[in-house]
Structure 1
Amino acid sequence: MDEVTCFMTANLSCFFLASVYVGSLYVWKSNEDRNHPKTVIRRFISAFCMLFVAPVIVYVTLKYMKPQESIDLLTLLGLRLNGLLLAISVPVILTSVLFLGPITSSFFDGSWKDLFSAECWKNNLHDILWIRNQIVAPISEEFTFRACMLPQLLKCYSNSQAVLVSPLFFGVGHFHHMVERWRQGMPLAQSLLLSCFQFAYTTLFGMYAAFLFIRTGNVAAPCVAHAFCNVMGFPDFGEIGRLNGWKRIVLASAFVVGLLGWYFLLWPLTEPTLYDNNP
Structure 2
Amino acid sequence: MQLSMDCSCDLADGLKVVLAPRSWARCLTDMRWLRNQVIAPLTEELVFRACMLPMLAPCTGLGPAVFTCPLFFGVAHFHHIFEQLRFRQSSVGSIFLSAAFQFSYTAVFGAYTAFLFIRTGHLIGPVLCHSFCNYMGFPAVCAALEHPQRRPLLAGYALGVGLFLLLLQPLTDPKLYGSLPLCVLLERAGDSEAPLCS
- Scaled by the length of structure 1, the TM-score of the pair is 0.59
Helix, strand or coil at the partner of 1:235? coil
Asked if 1:210 corresponds to 2:114, the answer is yes
What is the deviation of 1:106?
A: 2.9
What is the deviation of 1:195?
A: 1.0
Structure possessing the higher relative contact order (Cα contacts under 8 Å, 6 or more residues apart) = 1
- Counterpart residue type for residue 239 of structure 1: A
Equivalent in the alignment of 1:108 = 5
Asked if 1:262 corresponds to 2:164, the answer is yes
Asked if 1:126 corresponds to 2:62, the answer is no
Whether the aligned pair in 2 keeps the contact of 1:134 and 1:231 (CA below 8 Å) is: yes
Asked if 1:271 corresponds to 2:173, the answer is yes
What is the deviation of 1:233?
A: 0.7
Residues in 1 aligned to 2:125 and 2:19: alpha-carbon distance in whole angstroms: 23
CA RMSD of aligned residues (A): 1.7
- Scaled by the length of structure 2, the TM-score of the pair is 0.81
CA separation of 1:107/1:129 partners in 2, compared to 1, >3 Å: closer, same or farther? same
Equivalent in the alignment of 2:105 = 201
Equivalent in the alignment of 2:143 = 239
- Is there any run of 5+ residues in structure 2 with no aligned partner, and where? 185-198
Whether the aligned pair in 2 keeps the contact of 1:215 and 1:277 (CA below 8 Å) is: no
Deviations 1:60-106 (A, max 9, x none): xxxxxxxxxxxxxxxxxxxxxxxxxxxxxxxxxxxxxxxxxxxx223
CA separation of 1:240/1:188 partners in 2, compared to 1, >3 Å: closer, same or farther? closer
Whether the aligned pair in 2 keeps the contact of 1:215 and 1:272 (CA below 8 Å) is: yes
Count of matched residue pairs: 174
Give 2:78's match in structure 1, choosing from 175, 189, 199.
175
Deviations 1:197-224 (A, max 9, x none): 1101100100101000111111111100
Equivalent in the alignment of 2:65 = 162
Equivalent in the alignment of 2:195 = none
- Counterpart residue type for residue 255 of structure 1: Y
Kindly report which structure 2 residues correspond to 1:1-279, keeping only aligned pairs within 5 A, or say none: 104-110=1-7, 113=14, 114-186=17-89, 187-244=91-148, 247-278=149-180, 279=184
Residues in 2 aligned to 1:248 and 1:196: alpha-carbon distance in whole angstroms: 28
Q: Kindly, what percent of the aligned residue pairs are identical?
A: 41
What is the deviation of 1:248?
A: 2.2
Deviations 1:155-209 (A, max 9, x none): 0223222211110000111112211211112333222121111101100100101
Residues in 2 aligned to 1:165 and 1:277: alpha-carbon distance in whole angstroms: 24
CA separation of 1:190/1:209 partners in 2, compared to 1, >3 Å: closer, same or farther? same
